Amino acid sequence: MSMPTIDELASQLTAVSGAKAVDPDHPLQHIEDVDSLDLMEWLYGFQNDYPHIPADESLFADMDDTTTLRTVHERIQRLVPEQG
């Protein structure tokens, strides 16, 4: 089963938000032009692209000043079903 790389996630979020760049290690709340609606739009696209990964808005439920795209990527990795 496919799993997006951290760079792919950054590109997807860049495309959705129109931000100049999305640094995977920069706190999401402090990236210019990225807001909560951008994250939801990105999540909607993610759900369509990776239907086998049960990602939902709980990915961002406890988002704070320290949450980065890498944090989100790690959470997604834990959601990927193990291959039998």
User: Residues near 59 by Cβ (< 8 Å), separated by ≥ 6?
Assistant: 43, 72, 75, 76
* Cβ(39)–Cβ(45) below 8 Å: no
The nearest distance, CB 51 to other proteins, in angstroms, is 12
The nearest distance, CB 36 to other proteins, in angstroms, is 6
| Chain residues that interact with other proteins, rule: CB under 8 A | 35-37, 39-41, 43-44, 47-48, 56-57, 60
* Cβ(63)–Cβ(13) below 8 Å: no
The nearest distance, CB 72 to other proteins, in angstroms, is 14
Name the residue nearer to other proteins (CB basis): 22 or 43: 43
